[in-house]
Structure 1
Amino acid sequence: MYLGFEKRQAEVIVTALVTLTTANMDIVYRDMVTGAHQEIALQQIMAHLDAIRKDMVILEKSEFANLRSENAKMKTELEQIKNRLLEESQKIRADAKLDINLERSRVTDMFTEQEKKLMEVKTEFQKMNADIESEAVDTSKKIDIQVASLKTLLESLKLETIRYLAACVFACLAISLGLYRFWK
């Protein structure tokens, strides 16, 4: 930057000044007039230069004002974008928290339901186990009763067999005695 101007602007101004100076010099050389005319021509040139300086100052100020207004617009837009981003991030956070809470609630409900089912199955299993044990005890008692009745029957059959054998032995003895007496 040259004296607050960009390089391109400074080059244009220098070119304009060179062109003006060259043109004025040509006029001065062509006209070669008196000192008064020279003074008038010099004042005209100075007036032109002052006008150019004023135009340059106005141009600089207007560009600065444009840049300032553009900067203000950009700041406003950035602030709006920032606010929208904050709103969106808060919305996403709230949605995520809601989803997490819903999922946690669903898992808790599912866990509670599974625990309930497990307790029902456990109770049913214990009931079935008690029924099986009761049936086993009943079956065991029936077997014991039947074994006892079979033992009793076996004992009574043994007794009857012994009686029958005793009766057979006594009958054989009686027949033998009878035959013995008969032959004797």
Structure 2
Amino acid sequence: MVRNQLLNTSFKGFEKAQAETIVLALIILSNVSLDTIYKEMVTRAQQEITVQQIMAHLDSIRKDMVILEKSEFANLRAENEKMKIELDQIKQQLILETTRSRANNKLDINLERSRVTDLFTDQEKKLMEATTEFNKKDTHIKNSISQTSNKIDIEIASLKTLMESNKLETIRYLAASVFTCLGIALGFYRFWK
């Protein structure tokens, strides 16, 4: 019927034989397409069977997953326990090492502090000895300077005294010489007069 309608319809520009060939090709194409669609379609019963098979397969997969999950969980739990034990052992070792290191550091610090204290005490003793020695030498030098200064002062005083006495002697001799010269001059003066 569709064929007849398509054949009776006039196509502009096509002859009747060409139009029939085109229509025939379209009919074949439509039939092939419908056959393909029908082949891919399933009945409700087939669909339900397929759904049941898929559900059964999914249940089987779920059971396998649960079993696998339980075995994996057990393995993970065992592995976790093993790691926990190892971690506790490492923690204990770390605590021991830390305690040992702290004790060693405290000992080293105390030894170093004691050494520094001894060094400081020795340096302080040396400084005190040097200060005492310096004070002794300073006192000795001051005494020497004081004695030397006193000797110099005494020498200066005695030199001044000597100079004064020499000056007085010189003045006396000069005065005596002047008076003697005057006396002689007066004597000559009288004598010639």
Q: Which moved more, 1:133-142 or 1:94-103?
A: 94-103
Whole-Å separation in 2 of the counterparts to 1:62 and 1:70: 12
Does residue 71 (structure 1) correspond to residue 80 (structure 2)? The answer is: yes
Does residue 109 (structure 1) correspond to residue 118 (structure 2)? The answer is: yes
* Structure ranking higher on relative contact order (CA contacts 8 Å, 6+ apart): 1
3-state SS in 2 of match to 1:181: helix
User: When the two structures are superposed, what TM-score results if normalisation uses the length of structure 1?
Assistant: 0.63
Does residue 118 (structure 1) correspond to residue 127 (structure 2)? The answer is: yes
Whole-Å separation in 2 of the counterparts to 1:57 and 1:175: 164
C-alpha root-mean-square deviation of aligned residues, in Å? Answer: 3.0
Identity %: 66
Residue from 137, 162, 165 that aligns with 1:128: 137
Post-superposition offset of 1:164: 1.1
Whole-Å separation in 2 of the counterparts to 1:60 and 1:177: 162
Unaligned runs of 5+ in 2: 1-52
Give the corresponding residue for 2:108. 99
Give the corresponding residue for 2:158. 149
Post-superposition offset of 1:62: 5.2
Q: Deviations over 1:24-63 (max 9, x none)?
A: xxxxxxxxxxxxxxxxxxxxxxxxx9xxx7x998877655
Whole-Å separation in 2 of the counterparts to 1:152 and 1:56: 134
Whole-Å separation in 2 of the counterparts to 1:180 and 1:121: 83
- Structure number with bigger Rg: 2
**Amino acid in the other structure paired with 1:105:** S
Give the corresponding residue for 2:182. 173
Residues 173/81 of structure 1: CA separation in 2 closer, same or farther (3 Å cut): same
Post-superposition offset of 1:80: 0.8
Post-superposition offset of 1:71: 3.0
Residues 81/162 of structure 1: CA separation in 2 closer, same or farther (3 Å cut): same
3-state SS in 1 of match to 2:106: helix
Whole-Å separation in 2 of the counterparts to 1:89 and 1:59: 43
Residues 183/83 of structure 1: CA separation in 2 closer, same or farther (3 Å cut): same
Give the corresponding residue for 1:138. 147
Residues 91/168 of structure 1: CA separation in 2 closer, same or farther (3 Å cut): same
* Aligned residue pair count: 140
**Amino acid in the other structure paired with 2:182:** L
Whole-Å separation in 1 of the counterparts to 2:72 and 2:182: 157
User: When the two structures are superposed, what TM-score results if normalisation uses the length of structure 2?
Assistant: 0.60
Aligned pairs for 1:24-63 within 5 A: 63=72
